[in-house]
Structure 1
């Protein structure tokens, strides 16, 4: 707008000068001395000058309002275009490999349609006899063992092309069975044969080899056929496939259009449905892809995709019932979470930008929910929101001290506390335990302290543990179950009794875990005053012997550790300003071992712990 104002003023000034040439002060022509060479000059009268200025101001105001309206129309159009563009980008991201759990065949073929090769000179054998395939295998074996490779290089290129082109998408009915046979014949020999044929090493990449052009089209056919066949399967439970794909990744660098489909296939099998060995091999493929600068990976889209996969796995955990299934399932999820956290810790700047954007949006959501809890609590109390908090809390707490990610510890912890206080009812006790577990992990990883005891003792105060057992043969509920859901089970007599037992066990385990992590600190006796007081109140009020016996044991162990710290603390003089001496003393106590730490480790060896420490 400033540019248009300046232009308008310039034009008005020119117009004013032109009028000044036609009128003098009295309205008549004034002629100067012609001998001096001066020209005629005319000026406006004072009245005419004021009228002209008024006209100019009016015109300027009209033009300003018109330009403002025009500017508003442009803004509205730009906003609508931006919204349309954002919707298009969102749809593109949704279809771009990262977010879908299972890659649809039609989408995958669409991604590869530009990669098809239509060269009629490429020969594809339709019927391969066993004799021919064994002959190819023999040649590859001889080539991988023989040192005199130059003499056979010409014939070998034909064999490699035939082997690559024999893997055809439209001939495969059962990919799992076909690939197992293919691996027996060529799978283990092909990567080594390609590496020797192209003379690949640390300095020479496959696409820079002089011989790469001779097999480029055949190699492209092979990868397209391999990816299409893999995409047709719902879930590949083949360790050989991902091992073979990992060995063949260096040869895909020159095919930039195949980078996204390969990441798509690998990420689709980054799931707890896969076996543990397959999951590890998938993660090796992900590491190889993400660490290769030739693969253009959108880190933000990758984070969204991994987060969606992790959230879906969290939701599926609620369908499990037995302790063994839940424990093995949690082991896979822990492996997935650690992989995400460790990768994004390497991308500090990008991860901080992603985390800051997400946390800002999540903070606005939690503030709106606190204004109207009954209306907006479902926006917060869901697996997507809780999973984000969990991942960001792990990333922030595991970052090293110089990293900017450490600055996220305070906002993440405050957000977790707000989530706990949003709906502090019995219905959402399982979600409370999830949030408390996050805070405990932050304290353990980042060596910081939060007041976690009040969130646990509040349950002991408000929940009624004085039950009257009408059906003594209810099925016990494992505390593991509470970690697979966000809400308490439906209100039923048997279920309520089992849920009450599970709540007591979870509180016991969480108090013990947090106390164990702080048992070596010099402030432990002072920090434990609150929880000891609340445990004593619970013991006085509760009339259920099973619960009182359990909590009494916990109280006694905490008191014993307090006495241990007080005795060791009395032998030295610790100044609050001398942090180096305090940390050195705490490190010595931790290495020597505390009574509470010994008790917790003994329970783990006996298998009596319910929650993963």
Structure 2
């Protein structure tokens, strides 16, 4: 039989279990966390006494008030009476907590503090503390003064400007390059001010640093390296180059960075001109060539007009100096940029596309043999696109040919062959290129694509003129006169003519306008006249243009529109006049058709003498080019369409006007029209009164009748 434990024994055993439990908790709980946990545990214990409860409430309040040090010390000392075993445990495992000191100078142990009066003692500072001296303040000011030495001022820049023009050492150059780097880093996103040699603050100082480098650094580098003033030099072969190499490379890298971030056209132009001066130094650093060309190609293809020109001059200088390593990369990169930027052609983008094409030709002509390799591949690619469109006849394949990128590529390769040397290998690509252009014309021979046909025919005429190669152009022009009905009435009147300069395809609504027929006739007139003027001195002119004369006469019989007939009649007269002239000159001499040199000499004689057809074309083309220039500069006037003008009438200046205002309720605005007397008698009386009232008004506009065209014609008498 078990003996019942006495009350003291049970209490002792419960206390032992309690301490064991606390020891387990303390293994993973910090000292500060322990107090709050102990408070929560013992608040739920049924055997807790009131004295302990008051102690834990005090601890909780002390924790809420951020544990006041004196109260914290009191609570620790009370543990000795309320929970002796836990106090003993803390003394063994966390002695530092019990030896808590209120102040740093208090060296008494926690066991010696026995009363609350001792705990309330205030902290008294040590009398041996040192007072801050004036020397420490001087040291801080001295540091600030050292930092202020890095700060750039306009006065310092002015001093550098005077020194850099006279000093032949590297000291001022280093200062200028370091200041330029610091100025660039101030506007960079990831900049470390501590690593910079100088401190640039304010826009005036920034501009002063950039101006100092742009104006004086090129000559300073030349003076230090003892280079001549020639445009081409090799800096890396100079003895002193090793000392300036790192500085020069750092400056060129910073110059490329600032060019990448600048957007202002004026600033870009100034920096690009400075870069053009520094380009000879870039030959010494092959790693800079690729990022530099990438930047220049972007500006050449997308920048403003001045930026494009200066960028191209820099590209040309790099290409001529590093021809072997750079040319092949330039050929491919520049052609791709040209094709990418010629996708959309308008009056605003056309000048930029023309500039890119002409400048690209200049680069390709630097090496004809290397240009032949690229031309062969790209012309073959154009032929593959055309073959797919002709065989597969799908919409996507037609679109791959009938677009501006394809036409501009044909124009580029044709102009490159025209401008290349006669003995160049590029001339061997002339025949396949002409066949591609002719195939492009025949792909979709509908009126909708007449503008594209005219662009291709213009390319063929240019090739024939420059290379003196015969290309049959007339059949494609005369086919339009025979197949298209110019007599049918137009459904709508175009308020302004739609030029074919920036158009490849006409919409269905544009086909119904009278402006479409006008432009077609004008284009045929121009191309036949240009082609005839090109051949006007040749010995075969009378025989070649017999079919053209026959078909022009047939067109004049079919066509009932007076303006179109006048144009074609004028063209026919000029061709027949030249035909008669050549036949007369041929009859004067006897030539052996097998002797090509004799025929060539005779043709040159006629060409020097000049033909009436060529003179007419040269005078006509000047007016045409001026009109085209007005159109490209957006100064085209719509006066050619003779639209009626609306003018406000001034009251009280004409006698008949007063009676007109009293007899009718018309407004003060009136359209001034030249009256037709033959039709006035058939009109009703109110209509006659109105026209009689307008009799004294100046009549300056002719409205077209139904059967006449409203495009003005050029009188042949003006050119005689």
Please give the TM-score of this superposition, normalised by the length of structure 1: 0.70
Residues 539-562 of structure 1 show CA distances to partners (whole Å, capped at 9, x for unaligned) of: 121222121111211111122222
1-side partners of 2:399 and 2:492: how far apart? 34
Q: Which residue of 1 aligns with 2:253?
A: 224
Shift in Å, 1:294? 7.3
Q: Which residue of 2 aligns with 1:486?
A: 504
CA distance 1:309–1:552, change in 2 (3 Å) = farther
2-side partners of 1:271 and 1:383: how far apart? 17
Q: Which residue of 2 aligns with 1:257?
A: 287
Q: Which residue of 2 aligns with 1:400?
A: 421
CA distance 1:124–1:360, change in 2 (3 Å) = farther
Q: Which residue of 2 aligns with 1:571?
A: 588
Q: Which residue of 2 aligns with 1:114?
A: none
1:358-373 alignment to 2 at 5 Å? 358-373=378-393
CA RMSD of aligned residues (A): 3.0
1-side partners of 2:513 and 2:148: how far apart? 67
Q: Which residue of 2 aligns with 1:211?
A: 240
Q: Which residue of 1 aligns with 2:345?
A: 317
Residue 346, structure 1, aligned to residue 363, structure 2: no
Shift in Å, 1:388? 2.2
* Structure 1, 289-298 or 379-388: larger mean CA deviation: 289-298
1:123-202 alignment to 2 at 5 Å? 127-143=151-167, 149=168, 153-162=169-178, 164-171=180-187, 184-201=211-228
Q: Which residue of 1 aligns with 2:430?
A: 409
Q: Which residue of 2 aligns with 1:73?
A: none
Shift in Å, 1:408? 0.6
* Structure 1, 393-402 or 303-312: larger mean CA deviation: 303-312
Shift in Å, 1:538? 1.7
2-side partners of 1:393 and 1:125: how far apart? 63
Q: Which residue of 1 aligns with 2:541?
A: 524
Shift in Å, 1:605? 3.7
SS in 1 for 2:342: helix
1:289 to 318, 334, 339: 318
Shift in Å, 1:372? 2.7
Please give the TM-score of this superposition, normalised by the length of structure 2: 0.60
* Structure 1, 134-143 or 550-559: larger mean CA deviation: 134-143
Shift in Å, 1:255? 1.7
Shift in Å, 1:157? 4.0
Shift in Å, 1:609? 6.7
Preserved contact between residue 512 and residue 554 of structure 1 (Cα < 8 Å): yes
1-side partners of 2:425 and 2:295: how far apart? 33
Residue 303, structure 1, aligned to residue 331, structure 2: yes
2-side partners of 1:385 and 1:439: how far apart? 15
Preserved contact between residue 492 and residue 513 of structure 2 (Cα < 8 Å): no
2-side partners of 1:178 and 1:343: how far apart? 40
2-side partners of 1:489 and 1:221: how far apart? 57
1:100-139 alignment to 2 at 5 Å? 127-139=151-163
Preserved contact between residue 343 and residue 404 of structure 2 (Cα < 8 Å): yes
CA distance 1:464–1:363, change in 2 (3 Å) = same
Residues 139-188 of structure 1 show CA distances to partners (whole Å, capped at 9, x for unaligned) of: 23345xxxxx4xxx253443454455355255279xx9999766644313
Residues 190-210 of structure 1 show CA distances to partners (whole Å, capped at 9, x for unaligned) of: 212211111123696212223
CA distance 1:508–1:358, change in 2 (3 Å) = same
Shift in Å, 1:465? 1.4
CA distance 1:204–1:540, change in 2 (3 Å) = closer
2-side partners of 1:124 and 1:539: how far apart? 90
Total equivalences in the alignment: 466
2:474 to 449, 453, 459: 453
Preserved contact between residue 236 and residue 269 of structure 1 (Cα < 8 Å): no
Shift in Å, 1:247? 0.5
Q: Which residue of 2 aligns with 1:38?
A: none
2-side partners of 1:303 and 1:137: how far apart? 42
Shift in Å, 1:260? 1.0
Shift in Å, 1:490? 4.2
Q: Which residue of 2 aligns with 1:336?
A: 356
Q: Which residue of 1 aligns with 2:271?
A: 241
Preserved contact between residue 603 and residue 609 of structure 1 (Cα < 8 Å): no
Structure 2 gaps of 5+ residues are: 1-146, 190-202, 630-720
